[in-house]
Chain A
Amino acid sequence: MAEAPALIEAKDLALELPDMTARRGLGPRPLARILHPVSLTVRRGEIVGIVGESGSGKSSLGRTLLRLYRPTGGRLAFDGTDITHASEAELRPFRRRMQMVFQDPQSSLNPRHRIRTIVGAGLDLAPGAARGREDALVAALEEVGLEPALLDRFPHELSGGQRQRVGIARAIATRPEFVLADEIVSGLDVSTQAQVLTLLKTLARDRRLALAFISHDLSVIRNLCDRVVVMRAGRIVEEGACATLFAQPATPYTRQLLDAIPSPAPDPGWLTRGAVPPASTAIVR
């Protein structure tokens, strides 16, 4: 594949946040180092997987790419513009061009709003919002494979997969160029998951959408993404094309993650094979 232009370019991004785990004393909270310098590029039409164990910094990286967090080091560019330290006002024109789909459609969709209102909220941000609103709503639903009749339902009247697709419809209604999906298929059954993965692939291909896909499920990443970065303790420990990285992981950490995936073919030795990870971390500081 010819190199598409980079849409998101992160160079040596670092992130420190006020440490929520520190005991509250006098004065400001001490800072916790969340991301050590991390570099990552997402091109138009490309799906980049971000994988790693819980607490490795996947969501923090994703939120920094969307400039929901302000990096404390390095450089972040969106479509060639440096937005590392852009103010909220300066970010406004970019907000519509980047969107996020959340993990839990149950809690991220307002239960008191009809699907029409939920998806419409995305449209209101889009240029020329009022014109052809109904058409745009129907189109947004059709694009994610939902019946327009669902517009008048409430979230609890939909299945998990339908709710997740409403979340995607809301995100893509503004016709963004970059979408961050954070654990959006965990908890879905495999058939629904397959529908959502197919939809994401189509959006990347047909719309040239740049997609960052966070997941701790390596099997899903393998079958969705073009490239993958493996995170551990706030760092990227390995990255590469999916096909090569999964066939020949370079680090023991990635190997360990792959070995921990249960395969749907019974393997009597699997459960007892491999080291028990060190259990010295029972208590979260």
Chain B
Amino acid sequence: MTDPLLAIDGLSARLRKPLLRPLLRSVSLDVKAGEVHGLVGESGAGKSTIGKAVLGILPRAIEICGGAIHFAGEDLLRLPHRRLDAILGDEIALIPQDPMTALNPSRRIGDQLTDGLRLKRGMRGAALHARAVELLADVQIPEPEAVLKRYPHEISGGMRQRILIAAAFSLDPKLILADEPTTALDVTVQKEVLRLIRRMQAAHGTGVVFVTHDLGVVAQICDRLTVLYGGMVVEQGETATILASPAHAYTRALLAATPRHDQAGSGTTPIPPAVTAALATEVACYGMGPAAHG
């Protein structure tokens, strides 16, 4: 087997003093090139925190207190700043959740789409323009020439999300972090966007970390899956295997809480307190050293 592209190894993170509340507890996960890895769990489980740690954009309030993040063989947590800057936003890109706030309302689509190409590749003029048109065509945007001149509010939400996908793929990254990229979209547009991400990552051999709390989305787009609770990995493995026969009571409860359109009465069973109480004990016992009592 090939080496993983991304190998998160025992990553722990916590809130800085005086609280020292643990947020990630020895999280390990691997993503191979060309693989989509799903990250699910309830709100506050730490999904975005993992993504931000990989991207090096954790807020000041959060510190990493253990573990390593290997990307293409290098430990991102121990790289000199200059090397890190060269990797982030270039070899690792982000598809953010909310297409409205992720785009600057007062800059034209074309300028925002080509930031990476200009800043990281030094492209200019006709070549830059041609590449921008090509990128929009890749994400199946009609009239790319016209769209480049528009402002974000002049295009629909689904189109804005396509722009962000095009921007994420513009530098041909090895790894993409998609943090709930379809949560703000309606079902038909969501399906288009999922199809697009799948097509683009397959064509480019990109590894993807896909954060979502929709197990339906996970089932259709993720090869492998990590279920998180309270910053701890509850279950990990092949998506099909986990969804067909979840090993952990928490994963089963998460599935039971998922509404299905072909099944009356589904989606109205919250995760039973007993399941989370058992997990809370497990979480509290997790080896966090001196921070565990925070």
Please report A residues at the B interface, Cβ cutoff 8 Å: 53-55, 159-161, 186-195, 197-198, 201, 216-220, 222-224, 242-243, 246, 256-258, 260-267, 270-272, 274, 276-277, 279-284
Contact of A257 among B150, B187, B258 (CB under 8 A): B187
Main secondary structure of the interface of A (DSSP, over half): loop
B191 contact set on A, CB distance < 8 A = 260, 262, 271, 274
B255 contact set on A, CB distance < 8 A = 264
A272 contact set on B, CB distance < 8 A = 195
How many contacts A-B (CB < 8 Å)?
Answer: 171
Do A284 and B270 have beta carbons less than 8 Å apart?
no
Contact of A194 among B143, B156, B159, B257 (CB under 8 A): B257
Do A265 and B219 have beta carbons less than 8 Å apart?
yes
Contact of B219 among A54, A195, A198, A266 (CB under 8 A): A266
A161 to B213 Cα, complex, angstroms:
14
A258 contact set on B, CB distance < 8 A = 261
Extra pairs beyond A53-B188, A217-B187, A271-B195 (4, CB < 8 Å): A190-B213, A217-B259, A263-B216, A264-B255
Most buried by B among A160, A271, A277: A271
Known: A197-B267, A263-B260, A277-B192. Contact between A190 and B187, CB under 8 A?
A: no
Which residue on chain A has the smallest CB distance to residue B275? A191
Contact of A264 among B153, B158, B218, B270 (CB under 8 A): B218
Task: Assess whether B43 is interfacial by the CB under 8 Å rule.
Answer: yes
Which residue on chain A has the smallest CB distance to residue B188? A260
Which residue on chain B has the smallest CB distance to residue A246? B261
Do A284 and B154 have beta carbons less than 8 Å apart?
yes
Do A260 and B42 have beta carbons less than 8 Å apart?
no
A54 to B186 Cα, complex, angstroms:
6
A216 to B182 Cα, complex, angstroms:
13
Known: A186-B183, A283-B143, A283-B155. Contact between A54 and B189, CB under 8 A?
A: yes
Report the minimum CB–CB distance from B166 to chain A (whole Å): 12
Task: Assess whether B112 is interfacial by the CB under 8 Å rule.
Answer: no
Task: Assess whether B79 is interfacial by the CB under 8 Å rule.
Answer: no
29 contacts across the A-B interface (CB closer than 8 A): A189-B43, A190-B254, A190-B258, A194-B257, A194-B268, A194-B269, A218-B261, A222-B261, A223-B264, A223-B267, A224-B268, A246-B262, A256-B188, A260-B190, A261-B187, A261-B216, A262-B194, A262-B214, A263-B261, A266-B239, A271-B194, A279-B140, A279-B141, A280-B142, A282-B146, A282-B159, A283-B146, A283-B147, A284-B153
A198 contact set on B, CB distance < 8 A = 268, 270
A28 to B174 Cα, complex, angstroms:
53
A282 contact set on B, CB distance < 8 A = 141-143, 146-147, 155-156, 159
A274 to B190 Cα, complex, angstroms:
13
Which residue on chain B has the smallest CB distance to residue A192? B43
A220 to B216 Cα, complex, angstroms:
13
Do A262 and B266 have beta carbons less than 8 Å apart?
no
Chain B contacts with A in 223-270, Cβ cutoff 8 A = 239-240, 243-244, 253-255, 257-270
Task: Assess whether B104 is interfacial by the CB under 8 Å rule.
Answer: no
